[in-house]
Amino acid sequence: MREATALSTPEERGWERILPPAIFLAVILLVWETAVRLFEMPAWLLPAPTRIFQRFLISNTLPYHTGLTLMEALTGFSLAAILGITISAGIVHSKFLERGVFPYIIVSNAIPIIAIIPLLTIWFGYGFLPKILIAAIISFFPIVTNTTRGLKSADPRIMDFVHSINATRWEVFSKVQFPSALPYIFAAFKIAASLSLVGAVVAEFYGADRGLGFLVITSATQLQTDLLFVSITVLALLGVSLFAIFGKLEKAFSRGEVEVERPR
Amino acid sequence: MLEPGLSPADSICISLQGVGVTYGTQRGPVEAIADISLDIGEGEFVALLGPTGCGKSTLLRVIGDLRAPTVGRVGVRAQPAYVARHQNQFGFVFQEPALLPWRSALKNVQLPLEVVDYPPEKRAERCLELLGRVGLLSFKDNLPHELSGGMKQRVAIVRALAWDPPILLMDEPFSALDELTRNQLQDDLLELWAQDKKTIVFVTHNISEAVYLADRIAVMSARPGRISCILQVDLPRPRAPEMRQDRDFLNHVVQAQEALRS
């Protein structure tokens, strides 16, 4: 995609980017629809795209479940962003804090998130809170590692300059380190936002009576495969939208600079 | 800037006494610079000339209190260097312009004014004046990546002058530029210096640059970095590009070359 942006003019870029995937989508849907009709597939096994779309149109609880899951994911994500950036700021200003905290940040990433859900449910019940916490925990790691890297990426010469004029820690942070880290932070947000959605949905699998995760589980157990497809599609669209929004922000904040590496 | 009754030579701005810096490395301590003693007068232009790796940048960082010397004393206007730094007496210019890429030329010059308690209502005016002095007024809103290497370095120089510090510490500021641009910036710097009469310590490995700019050249030898000799540059001021071909100028260059070799 980057290469295409560099090589083509803006007018042809829009078409060039949208047309090929649209063609592929149309072909896949067409083959799918024909195959289902031709082989008379039962709807519980593989519903036709048209049937899935009909289901999407008649489902009036869908916005409610979607909104709920999105709220859980974004609240968790915001918590992780605030906490992650604060901890990163602490880490770059204190070697002690870095040595003391970083091992646990690594460990937090190593624990399988699914294993924590029952524990959080014991503590906080079946409401929103455990879902929000799972979304927060899962998005915390990429945010804290990338922000730390970004804060440390500040040009050492500029750091020398601001030290030579006695800038306070806060001035160094707010005028040099934090702005230097912004492209890294948005790159992390891009990953973390989609992860938070995964976290919220997985948490809803385990004891919830609403939300897209609940919809996925119930439609699967009741063999309402068309509704299952609707839920999955909505989830995918949400993930892509979040990814795109933060991707745009990342680009906007790396004004004229060298492109930042993608976080892993 | 000068105390009444004192000529520039009488009043000492920077005083180095037995300064040495030793780095701890895995193979044991390495002496970067050793036994450096030098007095630099108020308003004097001193070049530190030496081969790459002779510790001249380290010495500059020690003067500016960006690092402490392992031994010896650094005095700036009869005070320890850290006091001078806390009073914002040093303006640093580095080899790379080191501008904030998200700030326009004007806002980059303004950065130190936001830090050193400069009256907010006078900041913009001061930055415009400085950019005007180096011919960049029409580029004030450009981001660094939209400027040429020479323009960026000009911005970096006036950024170091913004709050009018008495001492300018320059670490090979022109070595990354092509020769034409470098010559132009040398003349620009001399003009700025003639107007403001700052004390300038200028690190370079370029012999003719040192001769063209400085009042005195401290020639350094490597491993550990020491001052091997000090050359007085007796060329008239203001210096002009034509002087680069003068016999007098070339004599100085040869002298410095020999000093470097020995």
* Mean confidence (pLDDT) of chain A: 86
Region of B85 please: left (phi>0), alpha (psi -120 to 50) or beta.
Answer: alpha
pLDDT at A69 over 90: yes
B34-41 mean pLDDT: 88
- Please indicate whether, in this complex, the C-beta atoms of B86 and A179 are within 8 angstroms of each other: no
pLDDT at A3 over 50: no
pLDDT at A4 over 70: no
Determine the pLDDT at residue A86.
94
- Please indicate whether, in this complex, the C-beta atoms of A163 and B66 are within 8 angstroms of each other: yes
* pLDDT category of residue B245 using cuts at 50, 70 and 90: confident
* pLDDT category of residue A260 using cuts at 50, 70 and 90: very low
Of all residues in chain A, the one with the smallest CA distance to B88 is A165
Determine the pLDDT at residue A84.
94
Q: Find chain B residues with C-beta within 8 A of A181's C-beta.
A: none
Determine the pLDDT at residue B137.
87
A225-249 mean pLDDT: 90
* pLDDT category of residue A148 using cuts at 50, 70 and 90: very high
A208-232 mean pLDDT: 90
A138's CB contacts (< 8 A; 6+ apart) are A76, A113, A195, A196, A198, A199
A254 min Cα distance to partner chain B (Å): 8
B222-250 mean pLDDT: 85
Of all residues in chain B, the one with the smallest CA distance to A166 is B86
Parse chain A into domains and list their residue ranges.
60-253
Percent of chain A with pLDDT over 70: 91
pTM of structure: 0.81
Q: Find chain A residues with C-beta within 8 A of B91's C-beta.
A: 164
Determine the pLDDT at residue B3.
44
Give the largest Cα separation in chain B, rounded. 54
Of all residues in chain B, the one with the smallest CA distance to A165 is B88
Digit-coded pLDDT (tens) for B50-103: 888 788 888 999 999 999 899 988 888 888 888 888 888 899 999 889 999 889
Q: Picking from A156-160, A181-185, B46-50, B75-79, which range would have the lowest pLDDT averaged per residue? A: B75-79
Tell me, yes or no, if A171 comes closer than 8 A to chain B by beta carbon.
Answer: yes
Q: What is the DSSP string of B151-200?
A: HHHHHHHHHHHTT--SEEEEESTTTTS-HHHHHHHHHHHHHHHHHH--EE
Residue count (chain B): 262
Distances (CA, A) of A212 to A70, A80, A135, A197, B225: 9, 21, 14, 10, 69
* pLDDT category of residue A9 using cuts at 50, 70 and 90: low
Cα atoms in the Cβ-side hemisphere of radius 13 Å centred on B253: 14
Q: How many Å apart are CA A137 and CA A131, to the nearest integer?
A: 10
Determine the pLDDT at residue A255.
57
Determine the pLDDT at residue B1.
42
* pLDDT category of residue A162 using cuts at 50, 70 and 90: very high
Distances (CA, A) of B54 to B60, B204, B208, B219: 12, 11, 18, 10
Percent of chain B with pLDDT over 70: 96
A177's CB contacts (< 8 A; 6+ apart) are A92, A151, A154
Q: Picking from A5-9, B91-95, B228-232, which range would have the lowest pLDDT averaged per residue? A: A5-9
The 10 Å Cβ neighbour count of residue A48 is 18
Q: How many Å apart are CA B74 and CA B89, to the nearest integer?
A: 14
Q: Picking from A8-12, B128-132, B207-211, which range would have the lowest pLDDT averaged per residue? A: A8-12
Backbone angles phi, psi at B231, to 5 degrees: -105, 130
Tell me, yes or no, if A175 comes closer than 8 A to chain B by beta carbon.
Answer: yes
Which of A157, A162, A179 lies closest to B94 in CB terms?
A157
CATH class of the domain defined by A60-253: mainly alpha
Distances (CA, A) of A250 to A191, A216, A254, B12, B194: 12, 32, 6, 51, 45
* pLDDT category of residue A11 using cuts at 50, 70 and 90: low
Determine the pLDDT at residue B246.
87
Determine the pLDDT at residue A158.
93
A100-123 mean pLDDT: 87
Digit-coded pLDDT (tens) for B164-214: 899 999 999 998 888 888 888 899 889 888 888 899 999 999 999 999 998
B15-35 mean pLDDT: 85
pLDDT at B5 over 90: no
- Please indicate whether, in this complex, the C-beta atoms of A160 and B96 are within 8 angstroms of each other: no
- Please indicate whether, in this complex, the C-beta atoms of A162 and B94 are within 8 angstroms of each other: no
Tell me, yes or no, if A165 comes closer than 8 A to chain B by beta carbon.
Answer: yes
Identify the H or E element spanning A262.
none
Q: Which of B223, B217, B224, B225 minimizes the C-alpha distance to B258?
A: B217
Q: How many Å apart are CA B223 and CA B113, to the nearest integer?
A: 39
B88 min Cα distance to partner chain A (Å): 5
Q: How many Å apart are CA A154 and CA B56, to the nearest integer?
A: 24
Of all residues in chain B, the one with the smallest CA distance to A170 is B115
Tell me the residue type at A139: S
Determine the pLDDT at residue A12.
59
A79-105 mean pLDDT: 92
Q: How many Å apart are CA B127 and CA B202, to the nearest integer?
A: 23
Determine the pLDDT at residue A10.
56
Parse chain B into domains and list their residue ranges.
91-165
B248-252 mean pLDDT: 88
Determine the pLDDT at residue A248.
86
